[in-house]
């Protein structure tokens, strides 16, 4: 057994340092989620499944989501709670308990409230482009919305279920260093499938009208819903206007 730093090679020391840094970051994020969950719960600011933005302000008028969210959230809840089982990526049929369906709905609700329904993209529109949103940020939103934390392992397990159900898709983003070899990752492209959005009524006349109205208001404010291209070595997903192309949509690569 190696007893001192002198017994490790520079490469081994670098790996150990990176692992320790990752552990520290995960611990910090867990503590941050616990802190925000405790605050919103103890101060009655958790909005739960209501059609409000998750924040530390609770049910304030300015954080009320556009009218189509109430319909989509209710339809999403009915859809999820109607599922008693699902087929995983290995083709095995797995049952979903009532508690599991509740957790699945909560995870999906966080994704739904960060979705651009014109494209299915999950992220945050900004002036120059639409930013991808990390899973860590989404877990933080989960804590803010429900006043309870969710572990990384639990989060990814339910995201995996949504992936297997073809409700959720993602594509990783890798950044290459100047040497062309060094790689680091950024928050992945994420989106909800058109078939799922259709199943919860996103394309009905009333809901679509509200979605388009909200979309235009955002554009008028100078916001962009086009995913940014990270660099030439990253294969970006083109923005997909679901309404313009109607049912010509094909499932994105996995």
CA 179 distance to own-chain centroid: 31
The tokens for 189 are 């492209």
At residue 253, the pLDDT reads: 35
Closest by CA position to 77, among listed 222, 201, 213, 242: 201
As a whole number of angstroms, the distance between CA 28 and CA 35 comes to 11
Choose among 1, 102, 13, 97: nearest CA to 49. Answer: 102
How far is residue 165 from each of residues 87, 91, 149, 156, measured CA to CA in Å? 7, 11, 24, 14
Which are the contacts of 154, defined by CB distance < 8 A and separation ≥ 6?
103
Mean pLDDT by groups of 10 residues along the chain of 254 residues: 63 76 82 94 96 96 96 97 92 95 98 94 91 94 97 96 94 70 74 94 95 94 85 51 42 35
CA torsion 237-144-22-125 (nearest 10°) is 30
Cα–Cα dist 241/120, whole Å: 8
Nearest-angstrom CA–CA distance, 241 and 254 = 19
C-alpha 64/C-alpha 67 separation (Å) is 8
Place of tokens 């508690």: 99
What are the sequence ranges of the domains in the chain? 15-248
Rounded to two decimals, the pTM is 0.84
DSSP strand pairing (93-95 vs 123-125): unpaired
Asked if 33 and 140 touch (Cβ cutoff 8 Å), the reply is yes
Please compute, for residue 158, the number of CA atoms within 13 A of its CA located in the half-sphere on the CB side. 25
HSE-CB of 79 using CA atoms within 13 angstroms: 21
């Amino acid at each position: 057994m190696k007893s001192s730093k002198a017994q490790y090679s520079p490469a081994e020391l670098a790996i150990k340092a990176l692992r320790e840094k990752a552990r520290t970051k995960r611990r910090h994020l867990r503590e941050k989620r616990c802190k925000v969950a405790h605050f919103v719960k103890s101060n009655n600011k958790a909005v739960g499944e209501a059609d409000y933005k998750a924040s530390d302000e609770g049910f304030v008028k300015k954080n009320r989501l556009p009218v189509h969210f109430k319909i989509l959230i209710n339809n999403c809840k009915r859809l999820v709670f109607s599922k008693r089982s699902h087929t995983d990526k290995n083709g095995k049929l797995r049952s979903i308990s009532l508690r599991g369906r509740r957790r699945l709905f909560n995870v999906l609700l966080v994704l739904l409230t960060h979705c651009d329904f014109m494209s299915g993209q999950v992220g945050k529109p900004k002036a120059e482009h639409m930013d991808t949103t990390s899973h860590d940020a989404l877990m933080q939103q989960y804590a803010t919305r429900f006043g309870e934390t969710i572990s990384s392992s639990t989060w990814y397990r339910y995201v995996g279920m949504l992936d297997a159900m073809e409700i959720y898709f993602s594509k990783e983003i890798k950044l290459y260093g100047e040497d062309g070899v060094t790689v680091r990752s950024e928050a992945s492209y994420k989106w909800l499938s058109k078939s799922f959005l259709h199943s919860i009524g996103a394309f009905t006349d009333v809901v679509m009208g509200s979605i388009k109205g909200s979309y235009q208001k955002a554009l008028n404010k100078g916001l962009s819903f086009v995913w940014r291209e990270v660099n030439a070595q990253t294969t970006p997903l083109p923005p997909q206007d679901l309404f313009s192309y109607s049912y010509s949509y094909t499932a994105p690569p996995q």
